[in-house]
Amino acid sequence: MEAFAVPGLPEIEAGDDLAALVANRVSLREDDVVCVASTVVSKAEGRTAALSDYPAGPRAREIASRLESVTGEEKDPRFAQAVLEESTDVLMDAPFLLTETRFGHVGVNAGIDRSNTGGDDLLLLPKQPSESAERIRDGLPVDCPVLVTDTSGRPFRHGQRGVTLGWAGMPASRDWRGEEDRDGHELEVTVESVVDELAAAANLVSGEGSGGTPVVVVRGFEFGDHDGSQELYREVSGDFVRQALRGWSYE
């Protein structure tokens, strides 16, 4: 398996046809997975915003002032308002704002980006990343899967890595349950989130800064002979860590 960046992509603007931009720069194959950073999907979909679009309500002002006192940093209540408007649930409001987006992803600040925004104040995540992935896939000349990725932190470990927000053309995970390990023990719980693993590989190539490489092709990945599942985002009822967070509050 190899991973390489699509070269020569321009600054992406609202209305750009990402599929065509990619297809014109790389000769795709059926064993490719096209991994697109959500940053450019958002730009192409016009998901940019200005802080002035979000006059802060009482909840946002309360969150921002608490964040300010906890972190000692200045917090713009309009940013908190933008996060609230992009979210369906607030998991933590201090010492940072951790929320769930409409499509099920839990991320700091609802994944709203303030870097690589193309000059706008804010870059919101795509509204429905799997639909974005499907649209990009429909525009490609070759029938290969498409992932929409983002860089995201994770609990318990330092550092961030790529995750998949939306996908099309492949299952989200492969199921090893019922197969045997080398000692003949049957695997009971292993469902491998292949879209996140592919996103992590893509993120490794695309980088975070000014590299200008938002699309990475992973070539030669083999799903193998496994059952697949489309599940990625946990329901609250089966998410025990999230349940433990309820009833917890900072300081």
Which three-class secondary structure state does DSSP give residue 48? strand
Q: How many CB atoms lie within 10 A of CB 235?
A: 9
Matching residue, tokens 């023990």? 185
- How many residues make contact with ligand GDP (CB under 6 A)? 24
Restricting to residues 131-160, name those near ligand GDP by CB under 6 A.
150-151
Contact at 8 Å (CB) between 173 and 158?
Answer: no
Q: Which residues form the interface with Mn ion (CB under 5 A)?
A: 39, 113, 115-116, 150-151, 208
Decide: is 210 part of the binding site for ligand GDP (CB under 6 A): yes
Instruction: Return the number of the residue (52 or 210) whose C-beta is nearest ligand GDP.
Output: 210
Which residue minimizes CB distance to Mn ion? 151
CB of 23 to ligand GDP, least distance (A): 15
Instruction: Return the number of the residue (5 or 56) whose C-beta is nearest ligand GDP.
Output: 5
Mutual orientation of helices 58-71 and 77-85 as an angle, nearest 10°? 120
Decide: is 171 part of the binding site for ligand GDP (CB under 6 A): no
- CA angle 76/78/157 to nearest 5° reads 65
Instruction: Return the number of the residue (11 or 181) whose C-beta is nearest ligand GDP.
Output: 11
Binding track over 173-192 against ligand GDP, x by CB under 6 A: --------------------
Instruction: Return the number of the residue (32 or 113) whose C-beta is nearest Mn ion.
Output: 113
Q: How many CA atoms lie within 13 A of 21 on its CB side?
A: 21
Instruction: Return the number of the residue (93 or 150) whose C-beta is nearest ligand GDP.
Output: 150
Tokens found for residue 33 = 């997975």
Q: Please name the residues in contact with 195: beta carbons below 8 A apart, sequence gap of 6 or more.
A: 147, 164, 167, 170, 172, 173, 232
Binding site for ligand GDP (CB under 6 A): 9-12, 37-40, 43, 113, 115-116, 118, 150-151, 206-214
